[in-house]
Structure 1
Amino acid sequence: MKKILFVLLLAFGLNATAQSSVDEIKLIQDLYGKSKADVVKEYLGLTDVQATAFQPIYDNYEAERKALSQQKIQILEDYAKNYATLSDAKATELTSANLKYNQEAEKLLAKTHSKLVKAIGGINAAKFVQLEQYLQVTIRSEIQNAIPFIGELDKTKMH
């Protein structure tokens, strides 16, 4: 399955902006039957006052997270383009870019958590972080399952 999805990725490429948003929305809707915003709101169960304080922080987080996600898409596109001829230098470049993306994503979540603690309290802020990390791990898992490990496709040719 990984091989087929990766070949499709190579053949058609990724439409960075639209595709990542659509796929993420579709994945969350498939898993939960509702939008991410609805999942978050339902899980947190905020009062009206808390919801009013939460919304602009959440909207800002989502805008920054989506912009940051474009970096991940670019890394994946670069990996797909270079998979067949991956050199040590390119592997190092892609790995460094991926690690930097992960650090930036964690910084954004930590910054948002600090704002949420002040706006909606520690427990609700923790619930948001817990849910966000769960959703991101789920999405990362789907992505990881769709791309081959370095050298994986070469080994399948040998058998």
Structure 2
Amino acid sequence: MNYLPSLKTLTPLLILIAFTNKAFTQSIQTEVEIIQEVFGLEKKLAVANFMNLKESADEFWTIYDEYETERQKLGKKRIQVISEYAQSYPNISEGKIEELLNRTQAVKKSFDKLLKIHFKKMKKEVGVKKAAQFWQIETYFSSLVQANIYSQIPFIGESTKGN
């Protein structure tokens, strides 16, 4: 699997993304934009290695770039929710918990919808196999990002003493 070295190079970047929730400042938008830009470039290289496109490459990248633009917007929303959680913890109110959970669910639903829409576009332009590969690697990346982020933030009610 020739794409694995590229995926492994993303691990430090994913950890950096996870730690951003602890270092949010007034320049949050700039930090998120830089991280997403670097992640997007590294990710695109990994996707290119994984997809091994020959014919239909132009069609694929046009749809992929459209997808990435929208995915990054949703990523900013996800990071904003995590930032609010981190800033509110450990004195987070029940109302704030419910609000953040609702926003988290809405962002997740939007991610799923975005992936489905672009899967359909890919299927039409590059075939079901390449579209499924796109879905597979995007799902993989999303899972990695989520796992890294959630491993760095405390669970509700978890003691933060000594941290």
Instruction: Please confirm whether the aligned pair reaches a TM-score higher than 0.5, indicating the same fold.
Output: yes
Separation of aligned partners in 2, 1:67 and 1:51: 24
State the Cα distance separating 1:53 from its structure 2 match: 0.7
What runs of 5+ residues in structure 1 fail to find an aligned partner?
none
Aligned residue in 2 for 1:38: 45
Please tell me the residue identity of whatever aligns with 2:46. Answer: V
Tell me if structure 2 keeps the 8 A contact 1:68–1:105: yes
Percent of matched pairs sharing the same residue: 29
**What is the aligned counterpart of 2:31 among 2, 6, 19?**
19
Alignment of 1:3-18 (within 5 A): 9-10=21-22, 12-13=23-24, 15-18=27-30
**What is the aligned counterpart of 1:128 among 134, 139, 142?**
134
- Relative contact order higher in (CA < 8 Å, ≥ 6 apart): 1
The C-alpha deviation readout for 1:82-103, integer Å capped at 9, x for no partner, is 1122111110000010011000
State the Cα distance separating 1:20 from its structure 2 match: 3.5
State the Cα distance separating 1:153 from its structure 2 match: 2.3
More helix by share: 1
Q: Which has the larger radius of gyration?
A: 1
Separation of aligned partners in 2, 1:70 and 1:128: 22
Tell me if structure 1 keeps the 8 A contact 2:90–2:156: no
State the Cα distance separating 1:19 from its structure 2 match: 3.1
Separation of aligned partners in 2, 1:9 and 1:45: 35
